[in-house]
Amino acid sequence: MKFGLHGQRGISFSSSAIDRGGLPPWRSRVVVFVVTVLFASLGARAFWVQVGNNQFYSEQGRKRVQRTIEVPAARGRIVDRDNRLLAMSQRAAGIFADPTEVPSDLPAETRARLAGLLGMSPADLAARLDPARSFVFLARQLPYERGEEIAALKIPGIYRQPEWQRVYPMGESAAHVVGFTGLEGQGQEGIELALNQQLLAQNGQRLVIRDRLGRVVEDRGLLRSPRDGAAVQLTIDSRLQHLAYSELRAAVERHGAKAGGAVVLDARTGEILALANWPSYEPNQRSKLRGEQLRNRVVTDLFEPGSTIKPLNVALALDRGMVRPGTVVDTLGGSMKLGGGYTVKDVSRSTSLSVADVLKKSSNVGMVQIMHRVPSQEMWLSFQRFGLGHAPSVAFPGTAAGWVRPAARWKPIEHATMSYGYGLSVSLLQMAQAYTVFAGDGAMRPVSLLSGQPGVPQHVVRPETARAVRDMLELAAAKASAVEGYRVGGKSGTTRKLVGGRYGAARYLSNFIGIAPLSNPRIVVAVTIDDPTKGGYYGGAVAAPVFSDIAAGALHLLGVAPDLHVQPLAASASATPAPAPAPAPKAALRPPAVPAGRAG
Please give the Cα distance from 315 to 466 (Å, whole number).
7
Residue 569 has pLDDT above 50, yes or no: no
- Residue intervals in the chain for CATH 3.90.1310.10: 68-233
Residue 13 has pLDDT above 70, yes or no: no
* 307, 362, 376, 427: the active-site residue: 307
Q: What is the pLDDT of residue 290?
A: 84
Task: Give the fold, CATH level 3, of 68-233.
Answer: Penicillin-binding protein 2a (Domain 2) (3.90.1310)
Find which of 26-40, 121-135, 227-241 is predicted with most confidence, using mean pLDDT: 227-241
Is 393 a known active-site residue?
Answer: no
Which one-letter DSSP state was computed for residue 423? S
CATH superfamily, domain 238-279+295-557, is DD-peptidase/beta-lactamase superfamily (3.40.710.10)
Please give the Cα distance from 551 to 543 (Å, whole number).
12
Measure CA of the first residue to CA of the last residue in the chain; give whole Å. 137
Neighbours of 259 (CB within 10 A): 20
Q: Which of the residue ranges 49-53, 310-314, 454-458, 564-568 would you say has the lowest mean pLDDT?
A: 564-568
**Average per-residue pLDDT for the chain:** 86
**Which of 264, 291, 204 minimizes the C-alpha distance to 551?**
264
Q: What is the pLDDT of residue 591?
A: 44
Please give the Cα distance from 447 to 453 (Å, whole number).
10
The whole-number average pLDDT for the span 329-333 is 94
Q: Name, in order, each residue with C-beta under 8 angstroms of 546's C-beta and a sequence gap of 6 or more.
A: 247, 248, 251, 260, 262, 512, 527, 529
Neighbours of 490 (CB within 10 A): 31
- Residue intervals in the chain for CATH 3.40.710.10: 238-279+295-557
194-205 pLDDT, tens digit per residue, is 999 999 998 887
Cis peptide before 279 (omega within 30 of 0): yes
Please give the Cα distance from 122 to 83 (Å, whole number).
44
Find which of 2-11, 130-139, 305-314, 345-354 is predicted with most confidence, using mean pLDDT: 305-314
Give the confidence band of 184 by pLDDT, cuts at 50, 70, 90. Answer: confident
The whole-number average pLDDT for the span 295-307 is 95
Residue 244 has pLDDT above 50, yes or no: yes
579-599 pLDDT, tens digit per residue, is 333 333 333 444 443 333 333
482-518 pLDDT, tens digit per residue, is 999 999 999 999 999 888 778 878 899 999 999 999 9
42-92 pLDDT, tens digit per residue, is 877 777 667 766 666 566 566 666 667 777 788 999 999 999 999 999 988
Residue predicted with more confidence, 414 or 27: 414
Give the confidence band of 37 by pLDDT, cuts at 50, 70, 90. Answer: confident
427-451 pLDDT, tens digit per residue, is 999 999 999 999 999 999 999 999 9
Confidence (pTM): 0.80
With H, G, I as helix, E, B as strand and everything else as coil, classify residue 442. Answer: coil
Q: DSSP per residue over 269-304, as a string?
A: T-BEEEEEEES---TT--TT--HHHH--HHHH--B-
Residue 280 has pLDDT above 70, yes or no: yes
Structural contact between residues 291 and 300, judged by C-beta atoms closer than 8 angstroms: no
Structural contact between residues 137 and 158, judged by C-beta atoms closer than 8 angstroms: no
With H, G, I as helix, E, B as strand and everything else as coil, classify residue 393. Answer: coil
Please give the Cα distance from 95 to 570 (Å, whole number).
70
